[in-house]
Amino acid sequence: MNGLSVTELCCLFCCPPCPGRIAAKLAFLPPEPTYSLVPEPELGPGGNGAAPSGTLRASAGTPGRWKLHLMERADFQYSQRELDTIEVFLTKSSRGNRIACMYVRCVPGARYTVLFSHGNAVDLGQMSSFYIGLGSRINCNIFSYDYSGSTSAVPRPWSRCG
């Protein structure tokens, strides 16, 4: 009987399943972060690229431009040119959690964009090389996101750091 004993079959069908919250905590394995989001300095009044004192965004909830910083663990397989095709930004969930999003422009003038929900135990940094390769092969841009609370790569507001 496929290697299952009568006791195992009884437990399988008669015992109530784990509550959803417990099962979710057991199934979710967030990885060590392989990237971070760094706020790009805003242009100064003269447009010279120099940011006057205090113009960096002090909170991750503010809109603006972010730069993707990949750590060695990310194992990025492409050049800086390909890395520059990746746009990253933050959004907020309905519960107020910050979520990192990534838009990879693989093909100029692409007609389609694939929404890619990556698997468990990986993050956007680990998947970035795959997204570039996939988008280039299928002639589509790729949009992906990290799950709410899945990574510490999302910056925290500075007021909470001390």
Dist CA 47 CA 77 (whole Å)? 34
The pLDDT assigned to 56 comes to: 41
Residue 42: CB atoms within 10 A of its CB come to 13
Residues forming a β-bridge with 59: none
Return the H-helix or E-strand segment holding 50. none
Q: For residues 93 and 96, what is the distance between their CA atoms, to the nearest angstrom? A: 5
Structure tokens belonging to residue 10: 């009884």
Given a cut of 80, is residue 3 above it in pLDDT? no
- % of the chain with per-residue pLDDT over 90: 40
Residue with tokens 């520059």: 84
pTM of the model: 0.69
Reading the block at residue 44, the tokens are 């100064």
CA distance 150 to 118: 12
For residue 108, give both structure tokens. 């100029």
Condensed to tens digits (0 to 9), the pLDDT of residues 132-149 reads: 999 999 999 999 999 876
Instruction: Report pLDDT digits (tens) over 43-74.
Output: 656 555 444 444 444 444 456 789 999 998 88
Q: Are 71 and 57 in contact (CB under 8 A)?
A: no
Rounded CA-CA distance 85/35 in Å is 16
Task: Tell me which residue of 155, 161, 159, 160 sits closest to 100, measured CA to CA.
Answer: 155
